[in-house]
Amino acid sequence: MEIKSILFLLVSAVVLYVGCGWVGRASWRKDVCVFLLVLGTVHSGLIDINLMSREWYRGTTRGLEWSWLDYLWIFVLVDELKRRRPGTAMPVCLSAMVLFVGYNALRVMTSDPWIFGVFELSKMIRATLLFLAVALYVKEERHLRIIVAALALSTSYEFLATVYSRVILGHARADGTLNHPNSLAMYNLMTAPMLFAVYLSDAPRKLRRLCGVGALLGTLSVVMTISRAGFIGILLLLFGVGLTCGFWKNPIRVAVSAVLLAVVGTGLYLKLGDAFNSRFETSLAAEYGDKPTEGRIVYLNLADLIVSERPWGCGLNNWSWCVTNRYGPMLGMRYLAYESTDERPRAGPIPAGSNVEAPQAAPAHSLYAITLGESGWLGVILLGVLWWRWLKLGASFLRARSKSFRSRFGTGVFFSLLGVVLQSLVEWEIRQTPLLFLLHILLGAVASLYPARPSRWVAARRRERARARRRLELSAPVTNPPSGVNA
């Protein structure tokens, strides 16, 4: 083990010991940790380290990652577990998540090579524990307001980073702080629908205005990514939120929004129209054809080829290794092979007629394809069950049809999850640390609200008001009537 890794472990042990004790002494400190945790999803790599790093590997995870965000959720989780009452039920969906992680752990132990699978498995475990921390943390409406406010601010900040990358840096497709346009699009597909739903709720006015601004800026960020799936997805999701939450019932609001959209849309089209036309007019044959090139249909063909030979898949995070060394050449794509899990592969030159764009294979641009290839059919089934449980969790708030803050938050998260599902059909980015953390923060928050009815928060507010009335009655001065009449 390297010296820097040993020093990191020693420093982390001290930070965790001191931090857990410090956070547990006052509730506001835990609130600060959660606020920074949510806000920090736009800069998860600000302070991080990769143990056993294989930065040259073209997988979805390239080392045992550790981010400054991990300290924050551990502080929260440890304090919540200390305060948890015996017999308290664990959050809904946790068992399905543990089952999926456990299956992939078994696949890692039986895979060759196994080291890349350990990298991805460690991230899955971190995300699951993050979900648990947030689900245990949210106990009252104030906690939920902290999370929503942080998400509105992070989305607004990401818009500023988007404008900077587009205008100042001159990127044809804005990428913000997430280093890729598709990642930026998926981030806002998760935040904008939820913020729009909260804007249409009975939340405090300042929070609603902040969410309205965040939803608008998040939508503009998606437009500036020139992402085809992201652009179509954000329009459908916002329309669904508006239809579900009664946005169209207010004609004045609809008219003002229409004028605003017309003005903003005209300006964006004048600025980005050529880029959008070029993006949408790109021949789909190159991407979805059956020719031996790196396209989305070829990724599906590769997944079918892998699972036909290995029904249990080639192993978690082993897609690039197996496609580069074996399955790519079987379809006419000749990569420069990986020689060892410890040595950097050759970077070139790529021989003419190799039908590839890079020396080694990239991850499949589809969560379904990469899961099928790495975890087999059983992995796809377990992932499908997990996503069904998550969507069912969010859909439970659709039945309430309430304007309450908690109900609209749950409704917004449902559409956010729907956006991730649709985007993941053609992308794998949800495995990236900031997006995976954001997803599990939303899931943890909405799991804490389940079931959608009856509202334990409403009951708690009523009990608090009743206690306040009793205290007021007891503290009121008692006036005695006169005992007699003076003659």
Q: For residue range 258-316, what is the model confidence (pLDDT) as tens digits?
A: 777 777 777 766 666 666 666 666 645 555 555 555 667 889 999 999 999 999 999 99
Query: Greater confidence, 357 or 459?
Result: 357
- Assess if residue 191 is contained within a domain: yes
Whole domain around residue 395: which residue ranges? Answer: 3-284+365-452
Q: Are 174 and 225 in contact (CB under 8 A)?
A: yes
What is the token pair recorded at 50?
A: 């990769």
Whether the predicted model's global pTM rises above the 0.95 cut? no
Cβ neighbours of residue 38 closer than 8 Å, sequence gap 6 or more: 146, 147, 150, 151, 154, 438, 441
pLDDT digits (tens, 9 = 90+) for 460-482: 666 777 787 887 877 766 565 55
- Assess if residue 118 is contained within a domain: yes
Percent of all residues in the chain with a pLDDT value above 70, rounded to a whole number: 89
Q: What separation in angstroms does the CA of 380 have from each of 288, 303, 306, 315, 367?
A: 22, 12, 14, 13, 9
Pairing relationship of beta strands 48-51 and 64-67 according to DSSP bridges: antiparallel
How is 365-395 classified by DSSP, letter by letter?
A: S-HHHHHHHHHHHHHHHHHHHHHHHHHHHHH
Confidence of residue 321 (pLDDT cuts 50, 70, 90): very high
How far the first Cα of the chain sits from its last, in Å, is: 102
What is the token pair recorded at 452?
A: 């959608």
What mean pLDDT is predicted for residues 217-234? 90
Give me the pLDDT at residue 30, please: 95
- Assess if residue 484 is contained within a domain: no
Q: Is the pLDDT of residue 189 over 90?
A: yes
CB-neighbour burial class of residue 446 (10 A; exposed 0-12, middle 13-18, buried 19+): buried
Q: Are 353 and 283 in contact (CB under 8 A)?
A: no
Q: Are 238 and 247 in contact (CB under 8 A)?
A: no
Query: Greater confidence, 187 or 460?
Result: 187
What is the token pair recorded at 486?
A: 């003076």
Give me the pLDDT at residue 87, please: 77
- State how many domains the chain has: 1
- Assess if residue 44 is contained within a domain: yes
SS3 content of the chain, % helix, strand, coil (to 5): 70, 0, 30
Coil, strand or helix: which one is 89? coil
pLDDT digits (tens, 9 = 90+) for 35-68: 999 999 999 877 778 888 899 999 999 999 999 9
Give me the pLDDT at residue 454, please: 46
- Assess if residue 24 is contained within a domain: yes
- Assess if residue 459 is contained within a domain: no
- Assess if residue 336 is contained within a domain: no
pLDDT digits (tens, 9 = 90+) for 111-141: 999 999 999 999 999 999 999 999 999 999 9
What mean pLDDT is predicted for residues 207-230? 92
Within 245-284, where are the H helices?
A: 251-281
